[in-house]
A and B are shown apart, each in its own frame.
Chain A
Amino acid sequence: MAANTEAPALRPFPTIPALTPGAMAELKPHVAADKIQEAIGFPGKIGDDWQARALGRMGELLNSYRSLKVYMDACVHCGACTDKCHYFIGTGDPKNMPVARQELMRSVYRRYFSVAGRLVPQLVGARDLTREVLDEWYTYFNQCSECRRCSVFCPYGIDTAEVTMAAREILDAVGYGQKYSNEIIGKVHRIGNNLGLPGPALEDTLTGLEEDVKEDTGVDVRFPLDAEGAEVLLVTPSADFFAEPHVDSLIGYAKVFHAAGISWTLSSKASEAGNFGMFIGNYEQLRKIALRVREAALELGVKRIVVGECGHAWRVAYSFWNTLTGIGAGADDPFAVQLQRQLDPRYKQPAHICEVTWDLIRQGALRFDKEANDHRVITFHDSCNVARASRMGDTPGGQFEIPRQIIRAVANRFVEMDPGTTREKTFCCGGGGGLLTDELIDLRVKGALPRMEALQRVVDKHGVNFMATICAICKAQFTKVLPYYGFKMGLVGGVHQLVSTAIRLDASS
């Protein structure tokens, strides 16, 4: 399959594709084996009672999540979302239109949970939950990257990500889980991070990085691990430890802390910022994975918690950590207060590494040789979870401004892509939401189309040769997908990779 995957042609004037029913009907990710399922508390296989189980779980979710309940009722089929999904644009499969994807669940909701669907199912598009329908859920709810672009344009704010998460939770509850996400969740619990990098290997990697930076710059920049009493706990996606180009951003964070004289540490217990519990819509997993960070923070006695360049991790950290773990402020319950008393209230908790760097730049604590980035013509790809599900700084939209301000502070040549493809309207890289797995490469390549078209235009017009982003999944996805479109894989990199190139390490002394 992967060998035959070809990128769709870039269109000079993007138009809405005609429908190609069934275009992606055959593409589905590997199903999780029973061991993977059972390791994280889900049934190993689909049992005979799957339908009752699925409807039972659906009923529970409808009563636990207002979002799901309202979104099941409120859609009027207006179609505002139909041309907004990158997977629809890239594939033309009508079931990749957000409303049609939601309808896979809504049709079942109507049949079993609404008066009209019980009385006149055909009239309102209600369907029985058959095995075919369940398989269709597995296929198409694993073709959504939960990027929320559709929710920007919906007059009721209906967020397909919420529906996808609920569907995956129901699928897991009947023993029909997705291998890639569920295997990774098992690894986080067993080893501490998504990539399965054990503590000693992590220590070796960090020592190696210290040597590399010393060789490169002549400066002793430290990469501390499990350092008790450090000021800052940095939680970053594990890809930052050895994947390219991720590691260059990790070096950037270390240089920032070094130059500003801030003591910091990584944690072997919380050696992963990513939280795939969100992708599968399972609150218990989401919470359990997040609690590792709380425990590490309490053990190490840190005053600040900072998150590295990772899109969905920042969503979980910014939007959910206070709820799940008490990392934040403003709580009055003992569970959260225990941690919030330890954290320094003068800083935002948690903070994004870009917020930290930008604050230091504004204070004049960092200095740069901007010319060092002159070989780069840079553009910025907003990552979906950062753009539409989080914030940075004090004002709405800070998540757009702060990374751009940093780039302008460390480099001279920066251009924007088409405004219809950036900020809140940004397109997903095509690999988010638990879809960054090889067997979905066809979908991932096609889903990248709108971003690749916008990129091609700034490459042609301005000679862009560096697309900066602040997400580990974006970086991994683009590294893989760019060559399909004739770009070099090195065209993508991190914002702190740019910081790393330009920062003066003698500034603080």
Chain B
Amino acid sequence: MSAAAFFAILFNVAALTLVVGLGVRIADYARTPAPLKIPTTPAPATPAGVAWRMFREVAFFESLFKGNLWLWGLGWLFHVSLALVLLRHLRYFTEPVWGWVALIQPFGIYAGLAMLAGLGGLWLRRLAVERIRYISTPSDHLMLILLILIAGSGLLLKFVAHTDIVGVKIFCLGLLHFDWQPLPADGLLYLHLGLVAALAIIFPFSKLLHAPGVFFSPSRNQADNPREARHLAPWAARLERE
């Protein structure tokens, strides 16, 4: 099997695993009832207020900011950089490249460096702080190593060992249209792509579920209005009919 075919199959499997795996988890979260009102108060009393709280939580990590400034700084740096890097990569999947994607290209490159710095800081903290070392499992370290390798290999492809990026884009567009195209022969590129596929496959089975999870967290997504509206889960309502 050629490398192109291998990666084409791998990416299809990875995309399918990510989408189906996440879909199953999200459906499970959505289906599971929250029988009691448990927002961590003070909490907003209206749905609009809840949406604003959730936005602050997801965009700025508000709770983490209250909890630990160093951790907040490193975590936020990593996540914002990752978001920029992901957006920058849209150029490999769009033809012609969307205007705003073209615009953010330089920021995306700096973000790659910032992402690596954030990850390095997070790992250092995990290794150096006794309490965090205590609660770390091997998978916590491996997850950071995986992300560091992805960021590192990506930066090397950009700055040190240029790959045939036009060829990569043809391959990527081919993936989208189920019209498999050849992939440039480049070990570093294989590494980068392989690790990204691994990350996508691991996502729905790992702590990366914090990404969809936060939106379903009752302590953050419930409105503080228990006296004004009766909140009753289906299984709890059944008790009343017994």
Contact = CB atoms under 8 A, between A and B. Distances in A.
A79 B61 CA distance: 14
B219 A322 contact: no
| Most B CB within 10 A of own CB, among A80, A83, A328 | A80
A66 B217 CA distance: 8
Interface stretch (A93-101, A202-210, A265-273, A371-379): A93-101
Interface in B217-241: 217-220, 224, 226-233, 235-237, 239-240
A64 B36 CA distance: 11
B135 A103 contact: yes
B34 A67 contact: yes
Contacts of B217: 67, 70-71, 74, 156-158
Contacts of B57: 155, 157
A480 to B, nearest CB: 28
B67 A319 contact: no
Interface in A138-189: 148, 151-159, 162
Contact of B214 (A74, A122, A329): A74
Contact of B210 (A16, A64, A67, A76): A76
Contacts of B205: 114-116
Interface string B36-53: 111011111100000000
Interface residues of A, number: 79
A442 to B, nearest CB: 22
| Most A CB within 10 A of own CB, among B125, B131, B220 | B131
A156 B134 CA distance: 21
Contacts of A387: 41
A323 B226 contact: yes
A125 B136 CA distance: 9
B131 A97 contact: yes
A322 B38 contact: no
Contacts of B36: 319-320, 323
A390 B214 CA distance: 21
B231 A77 contact: no
A322 B44 contact: no
B162 interface: no
B9 interface: no
A322 B231 contact: yes
Interface string A310-337: 0000000011111100101111110110
Given A116-B139, A283-B35, 20 more contacts: A65-B34, A65-B35, A66-B29, A66-B216, A70-B217, A70-B218, A74-B217, A77-B132, A79-B68, A83-B131, A123-B139, A154-B64, A155-B214, A156-B213, A156-B217, A159-B219, A322-B227, A322-B230, A389-B41, A424-B40
21 contacts: A18-B130, A19-B134, A65-B34, A66-B29, A66-B32, A67-B217, A74-B213, A74-B214, A123-B138, A123-B139, A153-B68, A159-B38, A321-B226, A323-B230, A323-B232, A328-B230, A333-B232, A336-B230, A388-B41, A389-B41, A424-B41
Interface of B: 25, 28-29, 32-38, 40-45, 57, 61, 63-64, 66-68, 71, 75, 125, 129-132, 134-140, 142, 205-207, 209-210, 213-214, 216-220, 224, 226-233, 235-237, 239-240
